[in-house]
Amino acid sequence: MGRDQQSVMSPSFRRRRIVALTVVGAVLAGGALVVGTISGQATHSLAGVVASSAPSPTPASLPIPVHTQAGPSRPAPTGSQHPATVPTFNGSARSIDDPTSLWVVVDKARALNPPDYVPPDLVDVPVPHVWEPRLRAEASSAVVSMFAAFTAEQGLQLQSHSAYRSYPTQVDVYGTDVTEHGQAVADTSTARPGTSEHQTGLAIDISSLPAECAFEACFGDTVHGQWLAQNAWRFGFLLRYPADKVAITGYAYEPWHFRYIGVDLSTEMHRTGVTTLEEFFGLPAAPTYP
């Protein structure tokens, strides 16, 4: 062998050749490289060459931490999985005893206190009517909105038959019913003075215009009655005396009698499927007078 060949084949030259070939292979392959047989010095040299020679990874090829990945938009958690994120209904937000409260519960076992209570904010209700209706201001506005929505959605009309009744008026109404039908029958259809929802200024008796099945159970089968039963909650009203709750309310089915309780409570009762105030607030049934 000549000197040139010896130089080329010397150990130091062979090591340099291995490193160079390995670097070229790594650059061409663009992949990861592990060299276990190269000295520490050569390894450092190689790492520098690979780092400077390999193409920079594109953003799409970079790993994305799981906690920062953007996912599809989702609605806010609801239900029992995340109860802390769901606004809860406050059942004690209003009194059920104060006659001025929108949630006051009046039935045969819960008379108004005082019995001759007069609502403080009665106003005339500007809707079609048989007898001129008056209600508390908030309930009046809700009735106007409900009647207008019914006409817009159904092309028909509703009218008021009876709204606020004072204590003296209720004395006359109940007395007439007792005279005509006897007390036992009257107590299933007309409240005794001091226990009528009409005295709160929050209750209204509704019929179709022109009247069909007024103050009769068949009103519940009309387009008007069915719409009210399905939609009155949207405006803060409750069908107060359902057909299947006579043992709770103490009154026969009245598909025309609606009680204003406010949209917050009516929405919650609609959501939960509870149909009487007694059941919703955990009160005793009131089928008879004490």
Within 8 A by CB and 6+ apart from 69, the residues are none
Query: What are the angstrom distances between the C-alpha of 140 and each of 163, 168, 204, 229, 235?
Result: 10, 22, 10, 19, 11
pLDDT of residue 87: 73
pLDDT of residue 224: 98
pLDDT of residue 86: 59
Within 8 A by CB and 6+ apart from 55, the residues are 30
Q: How many residues does the chain have?
A: 290
List active site positions. Answer: 254
Q: Two tokens at 143?
A: 């009735």
**pLDDT tens digit at each of 290 positions of the chain:** 443 444 444 444 344 443 333 333 333 344 433 333 333 333 333 333 333 344 444 333 334 333 333 333 334 444 445 555 557 999 999 999 999 999 999 999 999 999 999 999 999 999 999 999 999 999 999 999 999 999 999 999 999 999 999 999 999 999 999 999 999 999 999 999 999 999 999 999 999 999 999 999 999 999 999 999 999 999 999 999 999 999 999 999 999 999 999 999 999 999 999 999 999 999 999 999 99
> What φ, ψ does residue 153 adopt, rounded to 5°?
-90, -30
Q: How far apart are CA 105 and CA 99, in angstroms?
A: 8
pLDDT of residue 18: 38
Report the first-to-last Cα separation within the chain, whole angstroms.
127
pLDDT of residue 126: 98
Go through the domains of the chain in sequence order and give each one's CATH number.
Answer: 3-61 (no CATH), 91-280 (3.30.1380.10)
